[in-house]
Structure 1
Amino acid sequence: MLRVTTWNINSVRFRIDLVAKFLKAARPDVLCLQETKCPDEVFPMKRFRCLGYEHAALNGQKGYHGVAILSRLPFEAPHTIESFCGKSDCRHIAVTFGERAGFADPITVNNFYVPAGGDIPDPEANPKFAHKLSFLDELRDHPRLHPAQNARAILVGDLNVAPLEHDVWSHKQMLRIVSHTPIECEKLIAAQHAGGWVDAMRAQTPEPAKLYTWWSYRSPDWATADKGRRLDHFWTSPALADRVSLIEILKAARSWTRPSDHVPVTATIDV
């Protein structure tokens, strides 16, 4: 089994104790973090090594964005798609697990942080939203995100879109809210289909069941209101689609002290 977690941690140094709490309890083989907000040279690698995660692929910068993959298993040299929309802003990192990890057939893990897009769902009035739409188009078209037939690949991360009707607390009320506008949903689904990716979370829990991974800081009583969104995703190539045996959304983590507004999502894969 291979257990892979994706989690937008919203500052890895600020929340390193929460990360440690999670890793001690859950012990995934691979942890994919987004919004690390940390240059590589000051990433808290010593703490991860003490927790048993000796292998790291980092793509970070000061104060914003940033992605990382931490692993208990060795992987091949990491690779990064450095530029999306002409910006090098640390939104992707990938590694491949092969013979060193004990896999006869390699598995590539892509970790993404898609732009949030600001508050106004108008690309002419809001450059951040225009950037997000362009990013999703490049995600759809990038050849490195189109796994070859029979390739074993995973794409995870905070993709900042809740694409389906039951990925939000109220489809009708969210249609004009960034993250669930029709154009964003269409573009993310197009990127998924273009790469032949399978939405593992929805394969495990089909609609109309609600699935959320994010609850806003703006809600004073988020648990009672439960106005969530599924912004974090776990996609697999077809070769792994029937190998996902369990997906766990750790909703309890949203109640931890000074939490991220996202919670960990962990998939168990029979490799």
Structure 2
Amino acid sequence: MTFTIATWNINSVRLRMPLVERFLQEQAPDILCLQETKCPDDQFPSAPLRKLGYEHIAIHGQKGYHGVATIAKRPLEIVEKRRFCEIEDSRHLSVRFSAGGRLLMLHNFYVPAGGDEPNVEINPKFRHKLGFVSEMHAIRAEHDDASGSILVGDLNIAPLEHDVWSHKQLLNVVSHTPVETTSFEAMREASGWVDLMRLNIPYEQKIYTWWSYRAKDWELSNRGRRLDHVWSSPNLVPQFTGYDILREARGWERPSDHVPVIAKFDFE
């Protein structure tokens, strides 16, 4: 049986609720992880989600900024809403659920974007981003015979050369600078995570999940970046069967600049 987990930076869940409903009706993932919900917990639009069969909703939100939410067709146990860099931003939510005979931990992340200037001396947002990634070392891919871990979200870094439309032109652009990509990959590997989206994908193949609002014609220019990620503990790799990037969602009415990524697992 195919089990699917989707991740999507929705860029305001209340503003784009019609898009969320359309996505759930058309794709029906078992779990959907949203980022940048920009919504306090008591104003989260739960009713239309429950109407579509997503009865289990975990939220870590705040007014006007950031925010993550994980919604599911099956029971979720909220495990943690971690604070990073001693800042109260709502950027992390972990839940536990059962699938495939295992108890799985699912981390939903929204990493800081980092501002425009890749210099920690003059840009505190960039310093915050690097500090946040450093603290992610504590989020490990814990697993044993009866458990496993998955991490998804808008991680706001395109780590590999072909995760951006032009490696050379973006080397000094926040999200693809060497200090970001090096620390990001070192953190992922040290914490035991497997980058599922790059499994069995030729290195030179471009992968994008984000296209800027600034482009007059995003589809024609196709200047994308892979900012959204799906990782797992090594023991779940045999159950991973692939993923879809719903590129067409970038062309929906009043879209997010990110599109959904749907990871597929062979769980009973």
Shorter chain as denominator, the TM-score bin is over 0.9
CA deviation vs aligned residue, 1:94-143 (integer Å, no higher than 9, x gap):
11112xxx653111111000000000000111000000000000012x1x
Map of 2:59 onto structure 1: 58
Query: What is the count of residue pairs matched by the alignment?
Result: 265
2: CA distance between counterparts of 1:236 and 1:245?
Answer: 13
Map of 2:105 onto structure 1: 108
* Range that drifts further, 197-206 or 164-173: 197-206
Larger strand share, 1 or 2: 2
Question: Which amino acid is 1:263 matched to?
Answer: V
Map of 1:235 onto structure 2: 231
Correspondence 1:119 to 2:120: no
Q: Work out whether residues 68 and 93 of structure 1, in 8 Å CA contact, stay in contact via their aligned partners in 2.
A: yes
Map of 1:246 onto structure 2: 242
1: CA distance between counterparts of 2:28 and 2:100?
Answer: 19
What are the equivalent positions in structure 2 for 1:126-205 lying under 5 Å apart? Answer: 126-140=123-137, 142=138, 144-150=139-145, 151-205=147-201
1: CA distance between counterparts of 2:150 and 2:256?
Answer: 23
Question: Which amino acid is 1:227 matched to?
Answer: R
Q: Work out whether residues 140 and 192 of structure 2, in 8 Å CA contact, stay in contact via their aligned partners in 1.
A: no
Q: CA deviation at 1:223?
A: 0.4
Correspondence 1:32 to 2:29: no
Distance 1:204 1:29, change over 3 A: farther
Map of 1:207 onto structure 2: 203
Q: Work out whether residues 12 and 36 of structure 1, in 8 Å CA contact, stay in contact via their aligned partners in 2.
A: yes
- Aligned-pair identity in percent equals 53
Correspondence 1:89 to 2:89: yes
SS at match of 1:173: coil
2: CA distance between counterparts of 1:7 and 1:146?
Answer: 21
TM-score normalised by length of structure 2: 0.96
Q: CA deviation at 1:205?
A: 2.1
1: CA distance between counterparts of 2:62 and 2:208?
Answer: 28
User: What stretches of structure 1 move > 4 A for 4+ residues in a row?
Assistant: none
Question: Which runs of no fewer than 5 residues in structure 1 stay unpaired?
Answer: none
SS at match of 2:174: coil
1: CA distance between counterparts of 2:176 and 2:266?
Answer: 32
1: CA distance between counterparts of 2:13 and 2:202?
Answer: 32
Question: Which runs of no fewer than 5 residues in structure 2 stay unpaired?
Answer: none
Map of 1:257 onto structure 2: 253
Q: CA deviation at 1:244?
A: 1.0
TM-score normalised by length of structure 1: 0.95
